[in-house]
Amino acid sequence: METVSWTAKTGVEAEQMIDAVEKMVPDLQKVPGFRYQSLCLKELMPESDATDSKSQWLQLYYWDTVEAAHKSNAIMAPTDSLNHLISLIEPDSIAIDIFTPLQQSSPLTID
């Protein structure tokens, strides 16, 4: 499992972020070992002197293997879809981690 978290640039709406991720899915489906992904949002409170709230995003990627997760970044880097998503993100806020699953309750299904 790969986690990617970031903060959206000021003024970026949730619909823009969702649309950007949805446009990435066809490219992801071409990456060997990709199973599925999900996108999560945590609203952050605005700072006392700020008028805009920031939003913290978390994307979960499910891969067949840890190796597939590691290789995916190089495969996706040149795609227009990933570069569009990155244009909506505060560059210094991106954090990527890869975890090895050790337990799960059941396969995740999203309708």
Report the number of distinct structural domains present in the chain.
1
Domain of 6 in residue numbering reads as 2-98
Question: Does some domain include residue 32?
Answer: yes
Say how far apart CA 89 and CA 83 lie, in whole Å.
Answer: 10
- Say if 8 falls within a structural domain: yes
pLDDT in tens, 20-68: 999 999 999 999 999 999 999 997 666 555 555 678 999 999 999 999 9
Q: What is the CATH number of the domain that holds 86?
A: 3.30.70.100
For residue 15, is it within any domain? yes
C-alpha to C-alpha distances, 105 to 18, 28, 34, nearest whole angstrom? 27, 25, 20
pLDDT of residue 104: 80
Q: Hey, how many other C-beta atoms are within 10 angstroms of the C-beta on 96?
A: 13
The pLDDT of residue 66 is: 93
As a whole number of Å, the end-to-end CA separation of the chain is 20
109 — pLDDT class (breaks 50, 70, 90): low
Average pLDDT over residues 93-104: 91
Q: Say how far apart CA 94 and CA 6 lie, in whole Å.
A: 5
pLDDT tens by residue, 75-95: 999 999 999 999 999 999 999
Q: Is residue 105 part of a domain?
A: no
Considering the domain boundaries, does residue 111 fall inside one?
no
Query: Does some domain include residue 69?
Result: yes
- Cβ contact 12:108 at 8 Å: no
Query: Is residue 109 in a domain?
Result: no
Task: Please indicate, yes or no, if residue 107 is contained in any of the structural domains.
Answer: no
